[in-house]
């Protein structure tokens, strides 16, 4: 009996299509309802960050920076709560809380995403190099990361404030200036070491796996192994820790604002609004509720998204 | 009962009831007259003591520190009654029993009481030489004096300070109980000047260990009044190396004062010294302080009052007996630097005074309950309300006026479009240094929004504790909303000399923040950038000086016949408010204090505008 060769058309007959890794990811991801919901929320938040502030300003007719002391504060300067004109009530200085919450999304997301992104990038590089190459590179980088973790973050931030906050140009001829840039820089500076340690740990275990050994025996270069074998396996934990880092960064920004190192006082941020909430907690519930709610939703969304992404990307798990 | 008996019974009942009422009234009156002695007065202090020289009496300039020194630790030649109002601003004998003014007001001779001793560990009688020690420390810059300028009028004071003489020629001590001051020129307020804590007697055997070390004597302050720092009796003064700070004051968080065993109450009619112990504790949070006062863990506080606490005590009638308000003799103001654009132009400074919504700024502090809108430099109380009607920048509701501000701006070199707006590039992104108190976060949006209405925008930098920076001329801060100024003593000179005399501008700890009267030579020496050329009335640019007027007013003395001195200072206030315009004053604050249930008697000290700590009784 001769074998019947499969013609291309016959070969294409059965419902069997090759799927790329991205296709696989997408098909898995779209099954995850929670993750899709989270992605939608984040998309909405990004929209708010971009356009929410100006739209809120247009719709309510209240500017982001005007203090409505005569209408929205009582005789003692205590802010008044939500009404038909001020949907979220007034913030600690008599400004429209709804408008400021919308503008706050921009500040908080910018700081959160960019600072975390930079921290993860640095941590990834350092951790990979330390974990893969071992030896003196590992020793130097790991000890450096340990020192970074041991540094008292708030004290250094205070030091930078004291040194660089009192002039218009700041320190180093304008390189270190109070504002969004320095906040992102300081947060990234103190956050990368945690990522580096995690990445290093994962790298150490991955590099001992069979498929890495196989690739090495086939003559793959270090670069190829790092980018083709190790990095894809790191994406899962990286995503999880990035999504954990984002809300942490947003809150770090709030603490820095309190010290005077942060965004200018008239720029809104959820952290700054929550600081005011602490001052008026017993008389102004709206100050805590609305920015807090947005922060909770943002944190939840990033976490759910992170979970979903990790599940969909995880090459080991069979779901 | 038959009628006569009933009448008797009725009469008897009336007598009995009347007697009962009389007895009750009598015992209540007796209870009121007998104020309880003993107990511990616990005082909370917000965030940090904030001392300007670590409680070293030679340099310490914080008004709240004066309250502690004056009432509890430091007696001076002359002092006060530690009461509110005009009575509390009157000079009365303290260590000096009497004094004589002669030689046309240029010689002051004081006779000291006997029986005044230093507290532990010095334990000896105070002599006239101990006052010389204090003045010598005041004269030497290395010992950190911050109001030495008050004593330059003493012959030889400045020469001694510069090292050109071995003693201060103008102070002599013919015997242990007499001290004579010879002045270069008459000074109508000299008695007030020797009521300041820095002039209190100091034991040279202790202060010699702190020579040249400004700010370090505070933790070993030797008392002459009713209390002493706890642990002073254990301090070893046998040698400077053995001398350690007293345990009761750690410099940062706690100051514990106990009774001074060497104090003779019979020599001191003005201090009552009711509590056995007075303890000051720093607390990071104003909210926590007032919670503790309500719970009785603290009795009193030196602290800002959260608006909701203010509202509670001001509106709840059952809490009124714990809510005290007195005249603060203090102006809170926005300071503008006359050397930095755009505030080097008087048109801009006037416009700033017209545009500011002062009512909103006061609201940020807690509203009308906390104080009145300020209309000029000196609080009306110090001029006996003679300048009450002087409101050069008054607007409806004190909300500011865009029209008036623009009219004032017209003609300025910064009004490039000639429309009353500050449109020159130097008007944009002006550095504003802000502090981080709750009131600053509320005032900033108002200040920024109002300035924008006349075209000025700010680059805001915030720092916790802005004073040291504003007090350093080389930092060239154009504008700051932090400052407040309380009188040093009840003479208007204290609202002018330290604030507007160009000759006393110092590189650090300077209090003439606006740099009124600064010269180009001084600017170069102090590192001040910007234009320091003298004022040009045609353009409105440049730095005006009021030094000549200051000297003129200072030499005048009020007599029975004329208030020449006060009138002179009133004129100076008018001139400064309308022609020099270094400030935007916005608030004349009351001193509002809230007490716990433990406090049975509260009193206010008008001199220091603080509670009169030794006259406060606790259960």
Tell me what the mean pLDDT of segment B175-193 comes to. 93
pLDDT of res. A174 = 65
Q: Are B532 and B520 a contacting pair, CB within 8 Å?
A: yes
Q: Are B195 and B79 a contacting pair, CB within 8 Å?
A: yes
pLDDT of res. B29 = 45
The answer for residues whose C-beta is within 8 angstroms of residue B121's C-beta and 6 or more apart is B222, B232, B233, B234, B235, B236, B237
User: Distance between CA atoms of B110 and B106, rounded to whole angstroms?
Assistant: 13
Residue of A75, A165, A280 with shortest CB distance to B367: A75
pLDDT single digits (tens) B207-246: 999 999 988 999 999 999 999 999 999 999 999 999 999 9
Tell me what the mean pLDDT of segment A168-192 comes to. 76
Q: Does B311 touch chain A (CB under 8 A)?
A: yes
Tell me what the mean pLDDT of segment B165-184 comes to. 96
User: Distance between CA atoms of A244 and B531, rounded to whole angstroms?
Assistant: 53
Tell me what the mean pLDDT of segment B364-384 comes to. 92
pLDDT of res. B30 = 45
State the nearest Cα–Cα gap between B149 and chain A, in angstroms: 29
pLDDT single digits (tens) B285-307: 888 999 999 999 999 999 989 99
State the nearest Cα–Cα gap between B586 and chain A, in angstroms: 16
Q: Does B396 touch chain A (CB under 8 A)?
A: no
Q: Do A178 and B433 touch (CB under 8 A)?
A: no
Tell me what the mean pLDDT of segment B504-527 comes to. 93
Name the token pair of A223. Answer: 């670069």
In chain B, residues with a C-beta closer than 8 Å to the C-beta of A280 are: 308
Name the token pair of B269. Answer: 């009619």
DSSP B208-236: GGGTT-TT-GGGGPPP-SSEEETTGGG--
Q: With 0-12 CB in 10 A as exposed, 13-18 as middle and 19+ as buried, what is A247?
A: buried
pLDDT single digits (tens) B119-163: 999 999 999 999 999 999 999 999 989 899 899 999 999 999 999
Residues 198-257 of A with CB under 8 A from B: none
pLDDT of res. A318 = 46
Point out the least confidently predicted range of A48-52, A161-165, B421-425.
A161-165
Determine what percent of chain B is predicted with pLDDT higher than 90: 78
Nearest CA to B441 out of A272, A124, A80 is that of A272
Q: Does B445 touch chain A (CB under 8 A)?
A: yes
pLDDT of res. A264 = 78
Q: Are B366 and A73 a contacting pair, CB within 8 Å?
A: no
Q: Do B366 and A77 touch (CB under 8 A)?
A: yes
pLDDT of res. A251 = 77
In chain B, residues with a C-beta closer than 8 Å to the C-beta of A161 are: 463-464
pLDDT of res. B562 = 82
Q: Which pLDDT band, with edges at 50, 70 and 90, does B28 fall under?
A: very low
pLDDT single digits (tens) A7-23: 555 555 566 777 777 77
How do B300-302 and B40-46 pair as beta strands?
parallel
Nearest CA to B613 out of B282, B321, B274, B281 is that of B274
Residue of B369, B448, B461 with shortest CB distance to A76: B369
User: Distance between CA atoms of A108 and B518, rounded to whole angstroms?
Assistant: 45
Cα torsion B207, B210, B211, B215 to 10°: value is: -110
**pLDDT of A224 over the 70 cut:** yes
Q: Are B97 and B112 a contacting pair, CB within 8 Å?
A: yes
User: Distance between CA atoms of B183 and B101, rounded to whole angstroms?
Assistant: 11
Q: Which pLDDT band, with edges at 50, 70 and 90, does B484 fall under?
A: very high
Point out the least confidently predicted range of A243-257, B541-555, B602-616.
A243-257
What's the pTM value of the predicted model, to 2 decimals? 0.82
Which residue in B310, B370, B462, B473 has the most chain A C-beta atoms within 10 A of its own C-beta, making it the best mutation to test that interface? B462
pLDDT of res. A7 = 58
Residue of A93, A161, A259 with shortest CB distance to B441: A93
pLDDT single digits (tens) A39-80: 999 999 999 999 999 999 999 999 998 999 999 999 999 999
**pLDDT of B309 over the 90 cut:** yes
pLDDT of res. B21 = 57
pLDDT of res. A176 = 65
The C-alpha R_g of chain B, in whole angstroms, comes to 27
Which residue in A69, A158, A264, A287 has the most chain B C-beta atoms within 10 A of its own C-beta, making it the best mutation to test that interface? A69
Tell me what the mean pLDDT of segment B370-381 comes to. 94
Query: A63-67, A172-176, B360-364 — which one is most confidently predicted on average?
Result: B360-364
State the nearest Cα–Cα gap between B145 and chain A, in angstroms: 25
Helix (H) or strand (E) holding A71: helix A69-72
* CA B54 to each of CA A158, B6, B150, B352: distance values in angstroms, whole numbers, following the listed order: 22, 76, 21, 36
In chain B, residues with a C-beta closer than 8 Å to the C-beta of A68 are: none
In chain B, residues with a C-beta closer than 8 Å to the C-beta of A65 are: 445, 448-449
Tell me what the mean pLDDT of segment B236-262 comes to. 95
Residue of B314, B364, B460 with shortest CB distance to A265: B460
**pLDDT of B584 over the 90 cut:** yes
User: Distance between CA atoms of A165 and A264, rounded to whole angstroms?
Assistant: 11
Tell me what the mean pLDDT of segment A102-121 comes to. 91
Q: Do B367 and A95 touch (CB under 8 A)?
A: no
Closest-approach residue (CA) in chain A for B451: A66
State the nearest Cα–Cα gap between A149 and chain B, in angstroms: 26
Residue-averaged pLDDT of chain B: 92
Question: For residue B487, how far is the Cα from the chain centroid?
Answer: 5
Determine what percent of chain B is predicted with pLDDT higher than 70: 95
pLDDT of res. B474 = 94
Q: Phi, psi at residue A133, to the nearest 5°?
A: -85, -15
Residues B90-121, buried b or exposed e (16+ Cβ, 10 A)?
ebebbbbeebeeeeeebebbbbbbeebbbbbb
Which residue in A76, A154, A183 has the most chain B C-beta atoms within 10 A of its own C-beta, making it the best mutation to test that interface? A76
pLDDT of res. B94 = 97
Determine what percent of chain A is predicted with pLDDT higher than 90: 38
**pLDDT of B98 over the 80 cut:** yes
Handedness of CA A222, A223, A224, A230 (dihedral sign): positive
CB atoms within 10 A of CB B59: 24
Name the token pair of B605. Answer: 């000290």
ipTM exceeds 0.85: no
Q: Does A178 touch chain B (CB under 8 A)?
A: yes
Point out the least confidently predicted range of A201-210, A269-278, B68-77, B361-370.
A269-278
Q: Does A66 touch chain B (CB under 8 A)?
A: yes
Tell me what the mean pLDDT of segment A196-224 comes to. 90
User: Distance between CA atoms of B284 and B330, rounded to whole angstroms?
Assistant: 24
pLDDT of res. B590 = 94
pLDDT of res. A181 = 78
């Amino acid at each position: 009996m001769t074998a019947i060769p499969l013609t291309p058309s016959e070969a294409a007959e059965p419902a069997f299509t090759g799927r790329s890794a991205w296709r696989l990811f997408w098909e898995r991801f779209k099954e995850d309802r929670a993750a899709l919901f989270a992605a939608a929320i984040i998309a909405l938040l990004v929209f708010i960050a971009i356009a929410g502030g100006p739209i809120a300003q247009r719709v309510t007719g209240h500017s982001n920076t005007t203090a409505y002391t005569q209408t929205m504060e009582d005789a003692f300067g205590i802010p008044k709560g939500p009404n038909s004109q001020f949907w979220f009530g007034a913030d600690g200085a008599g400004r429209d809380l709804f408008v400021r919450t919308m503008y706050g999304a921009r500040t908080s997301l910018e700081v959160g995403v960019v600072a975390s992104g930079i921290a993860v990038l640095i941590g990834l590089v350092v951790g990979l190099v330390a974990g893969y190459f071992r030896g003196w590179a590992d020793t130097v980088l790991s000890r450096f990361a340990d020192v970074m973790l041991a540094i008292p973050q708030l004290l250094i931030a205070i030091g930078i404030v004291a040194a660089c906050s009192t002039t218009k140009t700041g320190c180093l001829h304008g390189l270190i200036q109070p504002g969004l840039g320095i906040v992102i820089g300081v947060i990234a500076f103190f956050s990368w070491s945690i990522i580096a340690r995690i990445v290093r740990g994962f790298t150490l275990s991955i590099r001992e796996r069979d498929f890495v050994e196989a690739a090495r025996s086939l003559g793959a270069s270090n670069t190829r192994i790092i980018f083709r074998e190790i990095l894809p396996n790191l994406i899962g934990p990286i995503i999880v820790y990035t999504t954990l880092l984002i809300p942490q960064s947003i809150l770090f920004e709030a603490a820095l604002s309190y010290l005077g190192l942060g965004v200018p006082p008239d720029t809104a941020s959820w952290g700054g609004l929550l600081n005011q909430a602490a001052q008026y907690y017993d008389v102004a519930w709206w100050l805590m509720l609305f920015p807090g709610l947005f922060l909770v939703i943002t944190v939840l969304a990033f976490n759910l998204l992170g979970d979903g992404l990790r599940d969909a990307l995880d090459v080991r798990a069979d779901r | 009962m038959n009628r006569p008996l009933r009448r008797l019974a009725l009469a008897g009942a009336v007598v009995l009831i009347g007697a009962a009422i009389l007895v009750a009234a009598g015992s209540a009156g007796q209870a009121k007259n007998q104020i309880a002695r003993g107990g511990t007065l616990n005082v909370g202090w917000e965030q940090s003591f904030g001392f300007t020289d670590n409680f070293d009496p030679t340099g310490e300039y914080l008004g709240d520190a004066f309250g502690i020194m004056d009432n509890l630790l430091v007696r001076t030649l002359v002092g006060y009654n530690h009461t509110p109002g005009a009575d509390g601003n009157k000079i009365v004998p303290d260590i000096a029993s009497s004094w004589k003014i002669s030689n046309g007001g240029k010689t002051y001779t004081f006779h000291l009481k006997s029986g005044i001793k230093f507290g532990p560990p010095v334990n000896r009688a105070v002599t006239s030489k101990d006052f010389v020690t204090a003045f010598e420390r005041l004269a030497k810059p290395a010992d950190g004096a911050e109001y030495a300028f008050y004593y330059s009028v003493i012959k030889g004071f400045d020469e001694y300070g510069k090292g050109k003489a071995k003693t201060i020629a103008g102070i002599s001590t013919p015997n242990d109980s007499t001290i004579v001051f010879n002045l270069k020129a008459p000074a109508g307020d000299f008695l007030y000047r020797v009521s300041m804590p820095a002039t209190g007697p100091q034991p040279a055997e202790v202060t010699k260990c702190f020579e040249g070390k400004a700010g370090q004597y505070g933790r070993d302050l030797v008392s002459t009044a009713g209390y002493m720092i706890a642990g002073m009796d254990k301090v070893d003064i046998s040698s400077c190396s053995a001398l350690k700070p007293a345990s009761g004051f750690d410099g940062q968080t706690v100051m514990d004062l106990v009774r001074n065993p060497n104090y003779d109450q019979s020599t001191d009619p003005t201090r009552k010294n009711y509590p056995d112990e007075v303890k000051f504790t720093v607390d990071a949070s104003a909210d926590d302080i007032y919670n503790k006062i309500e719970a009785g863990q603290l009795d009193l506080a030196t602290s800002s009052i959260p608006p909701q606490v203010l509202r509670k005590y001001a509106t709840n009638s059952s809490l009124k007996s714990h809510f005290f308000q007195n005249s603060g003799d203090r102006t809170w103001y926005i300071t503008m630097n006359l050397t930095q654009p755009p505030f080097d132009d008087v048109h801009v400074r006037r416009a700033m005074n017209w545009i500011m919504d002062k009512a909103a700024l006061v609201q940020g502090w807690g509203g009308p309950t906390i104080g009145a809108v300020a209309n000029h430099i000196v609080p009306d109380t110090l001029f006996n309300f003679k300048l009450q009607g002087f409101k050069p920048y008054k607007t409806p509701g004190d909300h500011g006026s865009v029209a008036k501000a623009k009219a004032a701006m017209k003609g300025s070199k910064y009004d490039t479009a000639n429309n009353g707006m500050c449109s020159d590039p130097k008007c944009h992104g002006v550095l504003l240094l802000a502090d981080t108190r709750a009131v600053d976060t509320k005032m900033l949006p108002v200040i920024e929004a109002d300035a924008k209405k006349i075209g000025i925008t700010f680059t805001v930098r915030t720092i916790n504790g802005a004073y040291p920076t504003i007090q350093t001329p080389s930092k060239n801060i154009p504008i700051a909303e932090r400052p407040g100024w309380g009188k040093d003593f009840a003479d208007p000179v204290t609202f002018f000399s330290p604030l507007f005399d160009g000759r006393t501008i110092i590189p650090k700890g300077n209090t003439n923040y606006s740099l009124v009267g600064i010269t180009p030579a001084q600017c170069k020496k102090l590192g001040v950038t910007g234009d320091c050329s003298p004022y040009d009335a045609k353009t409105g640019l440049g730095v005006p000086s009021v030094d000549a007027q200051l000297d003129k007013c200072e030499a005048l003395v009020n007599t029975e016949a004329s208030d020449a001195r006060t009138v002179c200072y009133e004129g100076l206030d008018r001139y400064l408010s309308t022609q020099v315009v270094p400030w935007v004053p916005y608030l004349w604050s009351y001193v509002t204090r809230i007490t716990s249930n433990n406090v049975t008697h509260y009193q206010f000290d008008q001199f220091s505008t603080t509670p009169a700590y030794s006259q406060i009784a606790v259960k």
